[in-house]
């Protein structure tokens, strides 16, 4: 059985978010990319607390494509340390997971 994941990344520019989403879809690395935002992010950076406006990308894909997606995101992202994290999809409707499987490569 295939293992499915959601990958999260954020960026401070909607144009970057849209570029990442389009590339992942064009290369069939993801079945769906949702862009949410703007959101407010508060975080530690270089010894102090920062707050910024960002857009969140939620990427639906197969676990086996994670490394390719990470490389693609890093190639398009301008953050020094972009957030790129994956969480497993432990359950899902049969029809949705079937669609996800059919839409991504491999």
40 to 33, 34, 37, 45: CA distances (angstroms): 20, 17, 8, 15
Query: In the block, which residue shows the tokens 């340390």?
Result: 81
- Residue 2: band (very low, low, confident or very high) from pLDDT cuts 50, 70, 90: confident
Cis peptide leading into residue 38 (ω within 30°): yes
What is the predicted pLDDT for the residue at 106? 76
What is the predicted pLDDT for the residue at 39? 98
**Domain range for residue 89?**
4-103
The CATH code of the domain that includes 52 is 3.30.70.120
What is the predicted pLDDT for the residue at 23? 98
| pTM, full prediction | 0.94
Say how many domains are in the chain: 1
Strands (E), 1-99: 4-11, 32-45, 48-62, 85-89
105 to 51, 56, 65, 74, 77: CA distances (angstroms): 37, 24, 9, 20, 23
- Residue 98 and residue 62 in contact, taking contact as beta carbons nearer than 8 Å: no
- Per-residue pLDDT reduced to its tens digit, 49-99: 999 999 999 999 999 999 999 999 999 999 999 999 999 999 999 999 999
- Per-residue pLDDT reduced to its tens digit, 10-22: 999 999 999 999 9
Q: What is the DSSP letter of 42?
A: E
What is the predicted pLDDT for the residue at 14? 98
- Residue 101: band (very low, low, confident or very high) from pLDDT cuts 50, 70, 90: very high
């Amino acid at each position: 059985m295939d293992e499915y994941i959601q990958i999260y990344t954020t960026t401070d520019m909607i144009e970057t978010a849209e570029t990442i989403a389009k590339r992942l879809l064009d290369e069939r690395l993801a079945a769906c990319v949702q862009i949410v935002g703007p959101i407010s992010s508060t975080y530690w950076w270089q010894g102090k607390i920062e707050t910024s406006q960002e857009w969140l990308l939620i990427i639906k894909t197969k676990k086996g494509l994670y490394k390719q997606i990470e490389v693609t995101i890093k190639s398009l992202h301008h953050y020094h340390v972009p957030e790129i994290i994956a969480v497993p999809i432990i359950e899902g409707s049969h029809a949705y997971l079937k669609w996800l499987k059919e839409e991504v490569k491999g």
